[in-house]
A and B are shown apart, each in its own frame.
Chain A
């Protein structure tokens, strides 16, 4: 059964039925799915969730679908790992990595939003889906559309990393590179959705799409043993995931599934595209758009649609915002790989780098639980590290050549007694 009541504007309260609709027609505010929470009480329980398969649809009672899931049956339920090595390096007591670089099938958090959007597109009778994307979303839309037998049109900025481009093309969508930045792509897509009557997942399916991001927060809570981390650090691009993780925590609290530990949430952005962090620092609600200039292309959104709600969630929770330079981002990517064996893309590097700065500045206490949200995979963005890693040594296939190499290596080791991970 479905607990969905309909859609309601977050700004002015105008109500809408479930349909493909982008924003409130009265004030342009975002539409939020309304649920019958009273009817969920006693029915949506830890046991009811634990009895379902280990994918993101185990939280389907809190997702806006009416029938059976049509996409993403193997998506979600990504690892939440205790990061003991990173704890030692950073000098903190309890640190977790929620690792959506391992989200199937295209290795980013986008599987969550797309699984819901594609299911909804089918429910609403669309035969063509699309998106405006910085790469990860396009990958996910292309893959899930291929499985669902839908036509896919994915629109991206012209300067994306090759891994992100090929990561869509392999699934056979129609891909269009737009000569502009993501905000230009967005603007065009809003006009395309209007004209061609397609389901553009982050345009006219946005109210349903964004709800999928809650599953990231639900999983963190359940995997932590039905409790919430005290501090959650999350990257911010368009502003979808952070408010939805916070909403997920609040929904679990309200349903009595977890204790209310007053969780705090923090926004991480690249210094070259930090409109939300700037607003948090200045104490403003108003987001001043920027022209992005950063290696963290997946989060280079200068005019974040839901930036306002990121600021609200951060403020309400008592969290904060922090940014990271390109150099700090690369250092954090290496640190995460060399301590925890996770290779993330620059968005994840941004999040870890911001976490470190929040810890060092005292914003996040060292003795409380911290969750770092890793939302994408480094294999798609090799460009950012290709010149940052020591190239391998080449030798002839002779033992004496290897022995000579080892002599050099051991001499180097003798000079640096303690092994310190890079980037610290």
Chain B
């Protein structure tokens, strides 16, 4: 499946400034791994260890936090939109 991953500002130094990267994947984990394979330095920013994201990395599929779905194993459909979002202070 072809999915788009939205890249937030703090990660754009790794993607040569790209704010959107397209990858092929069947799950969120595959999508992020493919992203990491394309850009060196991405993996340590996203993953604490294989299968475990860093504490402050939030991943959304379309508009839903993957922790309400099936976490990294959340399946991806063609045209889905993945966002990587840093946590935000309260308001």
Is B91 a contact partner of A209 (Cβ separation < 8 A)? Answer: no
* Chain A residues closer than 8 Å to B83, beta-carbon distance: 187
Whole-angstrom CA separation of A202 from B87 in the bound complex? 10
Other-chain residue from B11, B67, B68, B90 in contact with A305 (beta carbon distance below 8 A) = B90
The yes or no answer to A103 lying at the interface (CB within 8 A) is: no
Report the stretch among A48-56, A75-83, A233-241, A400-408 that lies at the interface.
A233-241
* Chain B residues closer than 8 Å to A29, beta-carbon distance: 54-56
Is B56 a contact partner of A27 (Cβ separation < 8 A)? Answer: yes
Give chain A interface residues in 299-315, CB to chain B under 8 Å: 301, 303-306, 308
Interface residue total, chain A, C-beta cutoff 8 A: 49
Give chain A interface residues in 121-165, CB to chain B under 8 Å: 131-134, 136-138
Is A23 a contact partner of B89 (Cβ separation < 8 A)? Answer: no
* Chain B residues closer than 8 Å to A24, beta-carbon distance: 10
Other-chain residue from B56, B65, B67, B89 in contact with A28 (beta carbon distance below 8 A) = B56
Whole-angstrom CA separation of A289 from B83 in the bound complex? 17
Which residue of chain A has the shortest Cβ distance to B58 in the bound complex? A303
The yes or no answer to B23 lying at the interface (CB within 8 A) is: no
Give chain B interface residues in 50-70, CB to chain A under 8 Å: 54-58, 60, 63, 65, 67-68
Is B90 a contact partner of A30 (Cβ separation < 8 A)? Answer: no
B51 → A minimal CB distance (Å): 14
Is A28 a contact partner of B87 (Cβ separation < 8 A)? Answer: yes
Report the stretch among A60-68, A188-196, A388-396 that lies at the interface.
A188-196
Give chain A interface residues in 176-208, CB to chain B under 8 Å: 180, 182-187, 189-191, 193-194, 202-203, 206
A300 → B minimal CB distance (Å): 10
Q: Which of A138, A183, A189 has the most CB of B within 10 A?
A: A183
Q: Mark B2-28, 1 if CB is under 8 A from A, else 0.
A: 000010111101000001000000000
Other-chain residue from B63, B65, B91 in contact with A202 (beta carbon distance below 8 A) = B91
A234 → B minimal CB distance (Å): 12
Is A28 a contact partner of B57 (Cβ separation < 8 A)? Answer: yes
The yes or no answer to A36 lying at the interface (CB within 8 A) is: no
* Chain A residues closer than 8 Å to B67, beta-carbon distance: 288-289
The yes or no answer to B77 lying at the interface (CB within 8 A) is: no
Give chain A interface residues in 226-246, CB to chain B under 8 Å: 237-240
The yes or no answer to A383 lying at the interface (CB within 8 A) is: no
Is A238 a contact partner of B10 (Cβ separation < 8 A)? Answer: no
Given that A28-B45, A28-B54, A187-B60 are contacting pairs, would A237 and B90 also be in contact in the complex, using a CB cutoff of 8 Å?
A: yes
Is A240 a contact partner of B89 (Cβ separation < 8 A)? Answer: yes
Other-chain residue from A132, A183, A238, A308 in contact with B65 (beta carbon distance below 8 A) = A183
Given that A27-B45, A29-B55 are contacting pairs, would A301 and B9 also be in contact in the complex, using a CB cutoff of 8 Å?
A: no
Interface residue total, chain B, C-beta cutoff 8 A: 27
The yes or no answer to A25 lying at the interface (CB within 8 A) is: yes
Which residue of chain B has the shortest Cβ distance to A185 in the bound complex? B91
A106 → B minimal CB distance (Å): 13
Is A30 a contact partner of B56 (Cβ separation < 8 A)? Answer: yes
Is A194 a contact partner of B9 (Cβ separation < 8 A)? Answer: yes
The yes or no answer to B86 lying at the interface (CB within 8 A) is: yes
Q: Which of B13, B56, B57, B67 has the most CB of A within 10 A?
A: B56
Besides A29-B56, A240-B89, A305-B88, 20 other CB < 8 A contacts?
A22-B86, A23-B86, A25-B13, A26-B45, A27-B44, A27-B56, A28-B86, A28-B87, A110-B91, A185-B91, A187-B88, A189-B88, A190-B86, A190-B88, A203-B88, A210-B89, A238-B90, A238-B91, A240-B90, A303-B58
State the 6 A-B residue pairs at the shortest beta-carbon distance, nearest first: A238-B90, A305-B87, A133-B91, A137-B91, A28-B56, A186-B88
22 residue pairs from A and B, CB less than 8 Å apart? A22-B88, A23-B56, A23-B87, A27-B45, A28-B86, A29-B56, A131-B91, A133-B91, A134-B91, A183-B65, A187-B58, A187-B60, A187-B88, A194-B9, A194-B19, A202-B91, A286-B55, A289-B65, A301-B90, A305-B87, A305-B88, A306-B89
